[in-house]
């Protein structure tokens, strides 16, 4: 399943490029509130034992000011990752600015950037602790219009996260681990 998600997201993205023929009028629901949810694949590119693959899920709420711009907030569960020696579990809240470009009658491209505030519970060689931090993130994807209010999306998001285990292990030489999160996901969006 973990290898299927990036393939599915890539296939949806390529399909959208093939159907880009004319600019579209997304005049219905140009502005207003929307909610959504995503499920996908997470690749944790971490130092030492924090390298891992995982499932990720996300809940979103946003407001479109017009057909080109929105503000979006969300909750993301990055799940558990790591090894028997060093492992962690992370979740967080995010805020982003989202730019939207209608491509066809049923497809739009979007890009977003923002900040995530995350909590991590970790265990390193039997020492346990937790840390709170914040990081920048950026992402891009495609919305596929199923109806005036319901959309399917495919997206990729990169988070520049750092994991600090200072509290748990004073005797470890380097207690800061660079742990970039790379998320490929599919989801739905409902516009009110």
SS3 letters across 10-44:
HHHHHHHHHCCCCCCCCCCCCCEEEEEEEEEEEEE
CATH number at residue 129: 2.40.160.20
Which among 92, 95, 39 is positioned nearest to 72, based on CA atoms?
95
The predicted structure's pLDDT at residue 14: 43
The predicted structure's pLDDT at residue 48: 56
The predicted structure's pLDDT at residue 3: 53
d(CA 91, CA 58): 10
The predicted structure's pLDDT at residue 16: 45
- Residue 8 φ/ψ, nearest 5 degrees: -60, -45
Tally of structural domains, the chain:
1
d(CA 137, CA 95): 10
The predicted structure's pLDDT at residue 30: 77
The predicted structure's pLDDT at residue 15: 45
d(CA 106, CA 36): 18
pTM of the model: 0.75
Cα–Cα distances in angstroms (integers) from residue 51 to residues 2, 120, 122, 123, 187, in the given order? 15, 15, 14, 14, 25
Range of the structural domain that residue 111 is part of: 4-191
Q: What is the pLDDT along the chain (192 residues), one digit of tens a residue?
A: 455 455 554 544 444 444 443 344 444 557 899 999 999 998 887 655 566 778 999 999 999 999 999 999 999 999 887 777 778 889 999 999 999 999 998 999 999 999 999 998 888 777 888 888 899 999 999 999 999 899 999 999 999 887 666 554 554 554 556 678 899 999 999 999
d(CA 152, CA 54): 22
The predicted structure's pLDDT at residue 73: 97
d(CA 39, CA 188): 9
The predicted structure's pLDDT at residue 5: 52
């Amino acid at each position: 399943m973990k290898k299927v998600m990036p393939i599915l997201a890539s296939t949806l993205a390529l399909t959208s490029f093939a159907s880009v023929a004319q600019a579209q009028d997304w005049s219905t629901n140009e502005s207003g509130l929307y909610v959504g949810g995503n499920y996908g694949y997470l690749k944790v590119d971490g130092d030492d034992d924090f390298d891992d693959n995982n499932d990720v899920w996300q809940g979103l709420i946003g407001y479109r000011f017009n057909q080109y711009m929105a503000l979006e907030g969300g909750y993301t569960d990055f799940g558990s990752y790591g090894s028997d020696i060093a492992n962690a579990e992370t979740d967080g809240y995010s805020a982003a600015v989202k730019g939207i470009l209608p491509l066809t009658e049923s497809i739009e491209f979007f890009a977003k950037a923002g900040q995530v505030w995350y909590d991590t519970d970790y265990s390193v060689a039997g020492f346990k602790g937790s840390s709170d931090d914040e990081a920048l993130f950026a992402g891009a994807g495609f919305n596929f219009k199923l109806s005036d209010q319901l959309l399917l999306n495919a997206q990729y998001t990169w988070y520049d996260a750092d994991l600090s285990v200072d509290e748990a292990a004073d005797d470890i030489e380097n207690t800061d681990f660079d742990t970039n999160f790379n998320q490929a996901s599919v989801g739905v969006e409902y516009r009110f």
